[in-house]
Amino acid sequence: MFDRLQHFLHGLVGRVASSDKASSIQPFVDGIHTSQTPIVDTPSPSRTSDDHVSNGRLSTSDIEDSSSILCIKPSDIHRQTSYPTATGGLGDVYKCTWNHGVNLDEVAVKYPRFQSLSDPEIAKVNKNLDREIRIWAAMKHQYVLPLHGTVVEEFGPFRALVSPWMPNGTLNSYLDRAHKTLSMTDRLQLLKQITEGLKYLHDHDVIHGDLTDGNVLVAADGSPRLADFGISNIMVRSNPAFSYHTGSVRWVAPELLDPPEDQPIQCATKSSDIYALGSIMLQVLYGKQPYWWLKSAIHVISVKFKRTEPIDSSIGIRPDHLNFMRRCWSTESKLRPSVEEVINYLQEAMSNENSSL
């Protein structure tokens, strides 16, 4: 294991500096991070949506038909600034205005960045984007970020993704401002909403794969929107060097960093999403990112190889909260709760909180 840790850290060192300097312009929008691992069970054109359900599955024609509504004319998108509003390791986000006839809406336009790709590779990425975009467009849930469409050529050779602008930014920036003003019931409610969004994805066989505080956005009313699921898988498939990135390492399940010897690339699963959700619980309930006392991504990776928990003794955590988060962080992925169990626990915790008032 030590040899694998050394090999992994050697490949990571060159990317730490640039990742740590990602823009923090507020309000931040959809997190620009690739997935830590390839997404397992990439949805086929048979996924479900609330709008087009047939025996619980979405037909191929339903997804293909959605392609006609996904193309937005470049002339209808107007950048509010010449430079990205936010930038990350693999992409840029622009705050734009979308003119679609009667209305003018503020939108986030995310443009993925790939380095040193040939024309055939660019064509392949766009083909993969087309498929994943149709799946994203079919996802209809109040706590999942909707996709308005895509813009071609205006921002570069790849599809730029257009989604609603979230005025409260990422979960991280929102909690920095609002955490102290939220009651414990408010925090539990926010967690339950995030979990309901994740349940919707899991019910449709979509693995998020990159559930972090930067990929949960917060709407004007304070409710969450899950973002950056599925699309990030394309970045990983385009270049294996992007299989891990420093921005997400705090949330990634340990088995994804330290796969078995005979399986060099470990795929994300529903269980690894639950591990990440446990760390989201820590942040929402107690205002701390996982491994908050460690400033370097390399140090975080090192302790993860040792299976160190993402908490220390410097804060007090309620025993019932701690016990459940530890279930989510179990080093045995099969012992982690299902998303349904998480929702049931949060509902019970809210009831207990209200009854104690």
Report the length, in residues, of the chain: 357
Task: Decide: 85 and 159 in contact? Cβ < 8 Å.
Answer: no
- Over residues 83-108, the pLDDT tens digits come to 888 876 557 899 999 998 888 999 99
User: In terms of C-beta distances under 8 Å and separation of at least 24 residues, what long-range contacts does 4-13 make, across chains too?
Assistant: 4/258, 5/258, 5/301, 5/302, 5/305, 8/244, 8/257, 8/301, 9/298, 9/301, 9/302, 11/241, 12/244, 12/246, 12/297, 12/298, 12/301, 13/298
With a cut of 70, say whether residue 208 has pLDDT above it.
yes
Query: What does the pLDDT read at residue 310?
Result: 96
What percentage of the chain reaches a pLDDT higher than 90?
Answer: 46
- pLDDT score, position 244: 47
Q: Where are the domains of the chain?
A: 2-355
Fold that domain 2-355 belongs to in CATH:
Transferase(Phosphotransferase); domain 1 (1.10.510)
Mean pLDDT of the chain: 78
What does the block give as tokens for 84? 């990205």
pLDDT digits (tens, 9 = 90+) for 117-162: 788 887 887 777 777 788 888 899 999 999 998 888 778 878 888 9
Res 167: pLDDT: 92
Tell me the average pLDDT across 159-181: 93
Looking at the whole model, is its pTM more than 0.85?
no
Hunting for tokens 């390399």 — which residue is that? 298
Q: How many Cα neighbours within 13 Å face the side chain of 292?
A: 15
Q: Is the pLDDT at 61 greater than 90, yes or no?
A: no
Q: How confident is the model at residue 4 (pLDDT cuts 50, 70, 90)?
A: low
Per-residue pLDDT band for 39 (boundaries 50, 70, 90) equals very low
Q: Using the structure block, give the residue that is written with the tokens 């929102």.
A: 174
pLDDT computed for residue 133 by the predictor: 81
User: Which secondary structure element, helix H or strand E, spans residue 242, and what is its range?
Assistant: none
Which of 43-57, 86-100, 171-185 shows the lowest per-residue confidence on average (mean pLDDT)?
A: 43-57
Report the first-to-last Cα separation within the chain, whole angstroms: 50
pLDDT at 15 over 50: no
Measured distance CA(187)–CA(350) in Å, rounded: 9
Which residues 6+ apart lie within 8 Å of 66 measured at CB?
Answer: 134, 137, 138
Q: Which of 12-21, 30-39, 105-114, 326-335 has the highest mean pLDDT?
A: 326-335
How much is the average pLDDT of 347-355? 93
Percent of the chain with pLDDT over 70: 72
Q: Which of 196-200, 243-247, 251-255 has the highest mean predicted lDDT (pLDDT)?
A: 196-200
Tell which wins on pLDDT, 231 or 136: 136
Closest by alpha carbon to 109, among 137, 140, 77, 82? 77
Select the highest-mean-pLDDT range: 5-19, 97-111, 234-248.
97-111
Average pLDDT score over residue span 54-70: 47
